[in-house]
Amino acid sequence: MGILKKWKKLHQKGVLLNNFYRQLTLKRIKIKPFYLVREGLFDLDVKTIATKLSPCETFMLKPSDMRIIAAYRERDQSEEEMLAMLKKDCYCLGIKHNDEIVAYGWYELKKCTSRFMSFPLKKNEAYLSGARTLKTYRGNNLAPYLRYQMYEHLNKIGCTTLYSFTDFSNVPSISFKKKLGAYNLKLYLFVSVTKHFRRVWLLRTYPEKHFK
């Protein structure tokens, strides 16, 4: 099977799963399989992390920037929610192109606070989440570029073990993380029924890999 056919098959699988999850959500039932993913620095082809967009400036977003990205359709949280995240030891790394914020992502150093599950982080660990690229600038390889910038930044402050979560049906996210050499550590199943039942089950543990 060719690469294009494989991609179409994966994409169709993701669309079908997401439609199924949407129908369950209407009934106030949430069922989400998801991966715990290990990320980090290791040898990569320069082409993998190069962006087509120039000039690019990587910078830490401040509270005053939250209003700007809150206006984007691609964002997950409101301005108030993002400001609250900054106050709770969350950090946001972004990319500017001609003074416009074109991509950004979040990381935490003390505790992973995912909607799926939470756990404390050690001094050498960080949790990565919420990578977003402005729709107008997609296709410029900004997601891998920003993620690698984040790896390098975290490595400088002693964080060499990096974690993230990926929805089982999120094909683009799975693809861009694999592009950077990330690999799955565990497969979980999240289930909630209204507000009265919420649980996570471990379904599978994958063999540990080691970065060079």
Q: Is the pLDDT of residue 192 over 50?
A: yes
Q: Which domains does the chain have, with CATH numbers?
A: 33-205 (3.40.630.30)
Round the average pLDDT of the chain to a whole number and report it: 86
Residue 16 has pLDDT above 80, yes or no: no
Q: What 3 state SS string does the chain have? A: CCHHHHHHHHHHHHHHHHHHHHHHHHCCEEEEEEEEEEECCCCCCHHHHCCCCCCCEEEECCHHHHHHHHCCCCCCCCHHHHHHHHHCCEEEEEEEECCEEEEEEEEECCEEECCCCEEECCCCEEEEEEEEECHHHCCCCHHHHHHHHHHHHHHHCCCCEEEEEEECCCHHHHHHHHHCCCEEEEEEEEEEECCCEEEEEEEEECCCCCCC
Q: Tell me the per-residue pLDDT of 48-107, one tens digit each, with 9 for 90 and over.
A: 889 989 999 999 999 999 999 999 888 888 999 999 999 998 999 999 999 999 999 999
Q: Is the pTM of this model over 0.85?
A: no
Q: Is the pLDDT of residue 33 over 50?
A: yes
pLDDT of residue 115: 85
